[in-house]
Amino acid sequence: MDEPKTRAARRAATAQRILEAAQAEFGEHGREGTTVRAIAHRAKVDPSLVIQHYGSKNDLFAIAIQLPGESTGDNVAEHLADVLDVRLAELPPETRALVRSMLTTPEATKAMRDFLNERVTNLARTSDHDDADLEAALTVSSILGLTIARHFLKLDALAEISEPQIETTVRPWLTAALDRDARA
């Protein structure tokens, strides 16, 4: 890749490298276990640049854990299958950092709660059931549990899950709760 030519482009590239390094460090060590020096080392910059670009470790953490939004689209089952594929694959660094820190860092707790509440609201809108909010919360919570069990606890049964197992077991399990009309 070509080196950015303008000062502004070099500055933006450095800031992006620091952010990516921070996401990786926070994902591996959590907020408390990560240092500005470790972020700087990974980004191959002086630690003062981390502070210059982001202010503090806590400010950088708040940015590093921001997750991109998702939309449910028209087909809920397809959307859930897409979400499942993402959560079963290698986690993006911002997701890893947020999940690792969500129980120990108030900012991460709030960010995760807000993100999940938005997912629940969007999913519940696709149903006309009286219990749509509860069904959506259970589905979203199940995906979160699956993410934690696979990527952080590394449960044996989930470590080497195959594509056929995802198709025949995991996807039907995930969408079964939303398919109330078919059960009636």
pLDDT per residue over 9-19, tens digit each? 888 889 999 99
**Domain shared by 58 and 85, yes or no:** no
Q: Is residue 69 part of a domain?
A: no
pLDDT score of 67: 67
* pLDDT of res. 1: 55
Residue partners of 76: CB distance under 8 A and separation at least 6: 123, 126, 175, 178
**Together in a domain, 33 and 80:** no
Residue 79 CB burial class (10 angstroms; 0-12, 13-18, ≥19)? middle
For 119-163, the pLDDT digits (tens) are 899 888 888 888 889 988 998 898 899 889 988 899 998 888 888
Residue 109 shares a structural domain with residue 156: yes
The Cα–Cα gap between 126 and 121 comes to 9
How many structural domains is the chain composed of? 2
Q: Residue 88: inside a domain, yes or no?
A: yes
Domain at 52, CATH number: 1.10.10.60
Q: Is residue 59 domain-shared with residue 131, that is, in the same domain? A: no
Same domain, yes or no, for 57 and 80?
A: no
Q: How far apart are CA 129 and CA 38, in angstroms?
A: 49
The set of residues, in sequence order, having a beta carbon less than 8 Å from that of 179 and lying 6+ positions away, is: none
Residue 132 domain boundaries = 76-183
The percentage of residues in the chain with a pLDDT greater than 90, rounded to a whole number, is: 23
- Are 81 and 34 members of one domain? no
Residue 1 lies in a domain: no
- Banded pLDDT at 71 (limits 50, 70, 90): low
The predicted structure's pLDDT at residue 184: 45
Distances (CA, A) of 79 to 11, 18, 110, 171: 37, 32, 24, 11
Determine the residue type at 168: T
Residue 71, domain member (yes or no): no
User: What pLDDT score does 70 carry?
Assistant: 53
Residue 174: partners with Cβ closer than 8 Å, 6 or more residues away:
80, 81, 84, 139, 142, 143
Answer yes or no: is 70 within a domain. Answer: no
